[in-house]
Structure 1
């Protein structure tokens, strides 16, 4: 499992001399989203913001340093009424010099308004080369300029309903299906016998996995607990922050969940025993899904 920050990232773009000043009350907030899985399909993002052609900020954020989480906001402020505001952003995989996708977008600041400028990094744009003056969105080359009259005012609650790699508008209610596997998801039948492995730091564990729908890709809190009914013994639950891997249209997965089954018990006492496993996933929006299943520890 790869840990991920539980908080949403806020990037504050600082105005440089000549770009703000007295009377600069026009604000633009970029709402940055992606349908690619952070930490798996994207590992770093480089962004540059400009106001009237002057660079106000250039930054690189990476998942490995816990600095990258999407959806996120990039606030460009302040600016004069009518100032041209631009963002260029490129997403990279680890060890690759060429970006997976690139996107540019521009608008004009509107005096007295705080605009929300939606920008998505789309998997459909991977490998798409657009002519100069155009940018790729949803797999098509389009004009990067968005007229401010077509933009909504910024509402911070947008981020709760934004789509990401795992939680889309069509993904339905939160749901998890329990499976098994260290390096891939495999089905798990009720009462199936699972082998246990000795851990490097002591104890013995089984490998569990989940297939997930309707929950965000990043910042999920995973809780795993278990009960041995014949031993009348409750295993102490463990929690971790996790990120999901996209596994096809409308679903995501996590595997390699190591659940210790002999914490507080001699390992010989759990062999051949039924174990009722309970798993909960909660995403940053507070949406929750649970799964419960009985397994049997191999004799």
Structure 2
């Protein structure tokens, strides 16, 4: 029984080992959990309503947080895209170089990234996809995605054309 466990462990190690072929190998994969929260990580579930926040420069955004496993915390590139599902032209992407905070259980997290919406009034109550791509300095990539429904207390009208 010990041999089969060791053999299985070796197979896992070989599968996770970096390749020697250069640029032909896909990047290593980590895991990411997408959440919300400005001050602490709050898990999201698909279909959940999420309150829009008014930004300091007049725009509207969703507070987005992410937890990762298998990524180094320094030199991380974060890319967050929001898209109203039935309107691909609504896609808005923000990017930045960040540093993740290490947690005691081996995961890392970033709390409070403002995921901007291009036309927030047009997204209210409609299914919105939030997708985060996190890439560390080694090239390890983790992605997380959730489908939520934005809500807000504003009388701003949707400027969407016919």
Q: What is the TM-score of this pair, normalised by structure 2?
A: 0.72
Q: Distance in 1 between matches of 2:88 and 2:30?
A: 31
Question: Which runs of at least 4 in structure 1 moved beyond 4 Å after TM superposition?
Answer: none
Partners of 1:173 and 1:213 within 8 A in 2 = no
Query: 2: CA distance between counterparts of 1:277 and 1:287?
Result: 20
* 2:116 corresponds to: 260
Aligned counterpart, 1:298: 151
In 2: Cα distance, 1:272 partner to 1:182 partner = 21
| Match status 1:195 vs 2:51 | yes
Contact 1:174 1:289 in 2 (8 A): yes
Residues 50 and 150 in structure 2, CA contact (< 8 A), matched pair in contact too: yes
1:218-237: per-residue Cα shift (whole Å, max 9, x none)?
Answer: 11000011221233433231
The gaps in structure 2 that reach 5 residues or longer are 1-17, 19-27, 153-162
Indicate the SS of the match to 2:87.
coil
Q: Aligned-pair distance for 1:173?
A: 5.1
Superposed counterparts of 1:1-299, under 5 Å = 174-261=30-117, 263=118, 265=119, 267-298=120-151
* Cα distance between partner residues in 1 of 2:88 and 2:74: 35
CA distance in 2, matches of 1:226, 1:182: 17
Q: Is the 8 A contact 2:92 2:116 kept in 1?
A: no
**Residue 276 of structure 1 contacts residue 293 of structure 1 at CA under 8 Å; is this kept in 2?**
yes
Name the CA distance, whole Å, in 2 between partners of 1:232 and 1:175.
Answer: 26
RMSD between aligned alpha carbons? 1.8
- Count of matched residue pairs: 126
Instruction: Give the greater-gyration-radius structure (CA).
Output: 1
- Unaligned runs of at least 5 residues, structure 1: 1-160, 162-171
